[in-house]
Amino acid sequence: MDIFRTTVRHVNGHALVAVAGELDIATRPELCSCVERVLGTRPDTLVLDLGGVTFIDARGLGALLLLRRHAAELDTRLLLSHVSPAVRSVLVMTGLSDAFTVSAEAASVSASVSASVSASVSAAPADASAGGFAPPGLPPAAGGHRLDL
Question: Quick check: 44 and 77 in contact, CB under 8 A?
Answer: yes
How far is the CA of 50 from the CAs of 20, 80, 83, 116, 127, in angstroms?
Answer: 7, 7, 6, 20, 24
Site string for another protein, 102-141 (x = CB under 8 A): ----------------------------------------
- Would strands 5-11 and 45-56 be described as parallel, antiparallel, or unpaired? unpaired
Instruction: Using CB under 8 A, pick the residue from 13, 37, 72, 93 that binds another protein.
Output: 93
Is the backbone of residue 93 left (phi > 0), alpha (psi -120 to 50) or beta? alpha
> Smallest distance from the beta carbon of 19 to another protein, in angstroms?
16
Instruction: Using CB under 8 A, pick the residue from 5, 37, 42, 59 that binds another protein.
Output: 59
Question: Quick check: 23 and 56 in contact, CB under 8 A?
Answer: yes
Say whether residue 61 binds another protein (CB under 8 A).
yes
> Smallest distance from the beta carbon of 86 to another protein, in angstroms?
7
Cβ closest to another protein, residue 3 vs residue 126: 3
Catalog residues that contact another protein under the rule CB under 8 A: 1, 22, 24-26, 55, 57-59, 61-62, 86, 90, 93-95
